[in-house]
C-alpha cells in the first residue's frame, strides 16, 4: 500500500482505504484560498453582467498579456457608479478577496473597489517598460537586421478587413505586382490582441518562405494601441530571426514595438512602400545601368581601336619585311666578314705551319741523308746508332740507312781518322 497525500495542517493522510470526501477537499481548498487575504489585481474587463433588479454584478477580468482570466463579483451599484462607465476592454485595478464556492467548485474574486487605469498611469507604465527594454539593449540599432531586397513572401499581421491591410497590400502590389503575402488576421486591440498577435508571430516565424513580417494597424487612442507596447510582445519581436516591420498608427504614434522592430514605418501605407522595391524605379535603374555599360563598352572598344590603329601605323608594322631584309643584309655582311677573317687566320696559320715544316725538314735526318750521309745502326737486334768507331770491331754487322733505303754490311776494319793506321 502506498502512502497518500498529507495536508498542510498535518491532517490524517489519505489512502484508498481512507479517502477524503469531496466536501472535505472543497472546504480545505476554500481555507487555503481564504488565507490569501485581500489583494489588488490589474487586468482588462471582458464581460460585464449587471442586470437590473439584481444586487450582484458579474465580470470577467483578463490578463493583458496572457490568456488567463478570473471571474469577478461585486455589487451592481459599484459597477453603475463608475465614471466613466465600464466597458469591454477597460483597464482597471480592483481590490478584493478571492473566494472559493464549495457548492459549485468555482473560484472568483469578490471586489469592493474598482479603479479605472487612467492615461497617465498607462503612459507611466509604458515608460517603465521602455526603460527596462532599453537597458537590456533591445532598442540598439546594432541588433536591427536589414530587410531583404526582394522578399519571397511577406507575412502580414493585421486586423480583418482593416484599412491597414488594404493599404499594405495595395501599395506593395502597386510597387511590385508579383509580391506574395501571407496574411494572418488578429485582434489589434483589446484583451485578445496580444495572445493572438503572439500566435500569429510564431506561425509566420516558423514559415521558411517568409522573409519579412509586417505588423500593421491604423491609428487610435493610447488604450487602442496599448497591446503594441506590451512587454511580452516586444520581447517576442526581439527574439524573431525574421526581420520585423512595425507599421502601427500614424506618424505621431510611437508604441514600444516601433523601437524593437527592425524597421519602423510611420503608417501602413509607408510599410507597403518600403518592404518591396518599385518595379518602375528598378526598371529605370536597370535601363540606366545597361546604358552606362553600353557606353563604357563602346568607349573601351574605341580606345582599343585607336590604340590598334596607332600600332598598325608604326613603320615596323606598316612594312614588316623591310626591317627583316635589312637585318638579312646585316647577317650576310657579318657572315662574309667572318668568313674572310677565318680564311685570313687559316692562311696565316698555314703559312706558319709550312715554314715550320720546311725548317723541320731541313733540320731533320732525311734531309741530311739526302745530302749523301748515312746512318749506321747495329744489326744485332737493338738497332743502336753507331756514333764512334770505338763501337765497331771486325765482323760487326751493320745496317746502313741512306735516303732511299738501307743496306747491311760487315766491318772488316775501322780507323779513327784519315791519318790513323788501319786495323785488320
Note the pLDDT tens digit of each residue in 116-134.
Answer: 776 667 777 788 888 999 9
Mean pLDDT of 297-310: 92
Q: What is the pLDDT of residues 29-61, one digit of tens each?
A: 888 888 888 888 888 888 888 888 888 899 988
Percent pLDDT > 90 in the chain is 38
Does position 6 have pLDDT exceeding 50, yes or no? no
Closest-CA residue to 79 (of 59, 95, 97)? 59
Region 135-152: mean pLDDT is 91
Q: Is 272 exposed, middle or buried (0-12, 13-18, 19+ CB in 10 A)?
A: buried
Average model confidence (pLDDT) for the chain?
85
Q: Which of 71-75, 153-157, 355-359, 382-386 has the lowest mean pLDDT?
A: 382-386
pLDDT at 1 over 60: no
Supply the pLDDT for residue 78.
87
CA 12 and chain centroid, separation: 68
> What distance in Å separates the CA atoms of residue 227 and residue 64, rounded to the nearest whole number?
8
User: What is the average per-residue pLDDT within 215-233?
Assistant: 85
Looking at 164-173, 245-254, 387-396, which range is the least confident one? 387-396
Q: pTM of the entire structure?
A: 0.53
**Beta strands at 39-49 and 56-62: parallel, antiparallel or unpaired:** antiparallel
Angle at 231 between CA 146 and CA 272, to 5 degrees: 40
In tens, the pLDDT along 229-244 reads: 889 999 999 999 999 9
For residue 119, the model assigns a pLDDT of: 66
Compute the distance between CA of residue 57 and CA of residue 74 in angstroms, rounded to an integer: 5
Q: What angle do helix axes 119-135 and 231-239 make, rounded to 10 degrees?
A: 30
Amino acid at each position: 500500500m502506498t502512502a497518500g497525500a498529507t495536508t498542510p495542517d498535518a491532517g490524517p493522510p489519505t489512502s484508498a482505504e481512507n479517502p477524503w470526501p469531496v466536501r472535505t477537499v472543497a472546504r480545505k481548498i476554500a481555507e487555503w484560498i481564504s488565507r490569501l487575504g485581500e489583494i489588488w489585481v490589474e487586468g482588462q474587463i471582458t464581460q460585464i453582467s449587471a442586470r437590473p433588479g439584481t444586487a450582484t454584478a458579474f465580470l470577467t477580468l483578463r490578463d493583458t498579456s496572457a490568456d488567463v482570466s478570473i471571474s469577478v463579483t461585486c455589487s451592481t451599484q459599484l459597477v453603475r457608479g463608475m465614471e466613466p462607465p465600464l466597458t469591454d476592454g477597460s483597464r482597471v485595478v480592483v481590490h478584493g478577496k478571492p473566494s472559493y464556492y464549495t457548492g459549485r467548485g468555482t473560484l472568483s474574486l469578490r471586489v469592493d473597489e474598482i479603479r479605472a487605469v487612467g492615461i497617465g498611469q498607462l503612459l507611466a507604465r509604458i515608460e517603465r517598460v521602455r526603460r527596462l527594454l532599453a537597458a537590456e539593449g533591445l532598442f540598439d540599432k546594432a541588433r536591427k537586421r536589414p530587410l531583404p531586397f526582394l522578399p519571397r513572401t511577406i507575412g502580414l499581421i493585421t486586423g480583418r478587413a482593416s484599412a491597414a491591410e488594404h493599404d499594405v497590400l495595395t501599395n506593395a502590389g502597386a510597387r511590385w505586382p508579383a509580391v506574395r503575402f501571407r496574411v494572418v488576421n488578429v485582434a489589434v486591440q483589446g484583451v485578445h490582441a496580444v495572445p493572438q498577435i503572439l500566435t500569429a508571430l510564431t506561425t509566420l516565424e516558423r514559415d521558411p518562405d517568409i522573409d519579412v513580417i509586417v505588423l500593421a494597424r491604423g491609428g487610435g487612442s493610447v488604450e487602442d494601441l496599448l497591446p503594441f507596447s506590451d512587454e511580452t510582445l516586444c520581447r517576442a519581436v526581439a527574439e524573431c530571426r525574421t526581420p520585423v516591420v512595425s507599421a502601427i498608427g500614424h506618424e505621431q504614434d510611437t508604441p514600444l514595438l516601433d523601437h524593437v522592430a527592425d524597421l519602423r514605418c510611420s503608417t501602413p501605407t509607408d510599410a507597403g512602400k518600403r518592404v518591396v522595391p518599385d518595379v518602375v524605379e528598378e526598371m529605370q535603374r536597370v535601363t540606366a545601368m545597361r546604358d552606362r555599360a553600353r557606353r563604357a563598352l563602346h568607349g573601351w572598344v574605341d580606345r582599343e581601336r585607336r590604340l590598334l590603329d596607332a600600332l598598325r601605323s608604326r613603320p615596323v608594322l606598316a612594312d614588316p619585311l623591310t626591317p627583316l631584309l635589312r637585318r638579312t643584309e646585316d647577317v650576310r655582311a657579318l657572315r662574309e666578314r667572318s668568313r674572310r677573317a677565318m680564311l685570313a687566320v687559316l692562311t696565316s696559320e698555314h703559312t706558319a705551319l709550312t715554314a715550320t715544316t720546311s725548317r723541320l725538314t731541313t733540320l731533320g735526318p732525311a734531309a741530311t741523308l739526302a745530302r749523301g750521309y748515312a746512318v749506321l745502326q747495329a744489326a744485332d737486334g737493338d738497332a743502336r746508332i753507331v756514333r764512334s768507331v770505338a763501337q765497331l770491331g771486325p765482323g760487326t754487322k751493320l745496317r746502313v740507312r741512306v735516303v732511299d733505303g738501307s743496306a747491311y754490311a760487315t766491318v772488316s776494319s775501322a780507323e779513327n781518322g784519315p791519318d790513323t793506321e788501319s786495323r785488320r
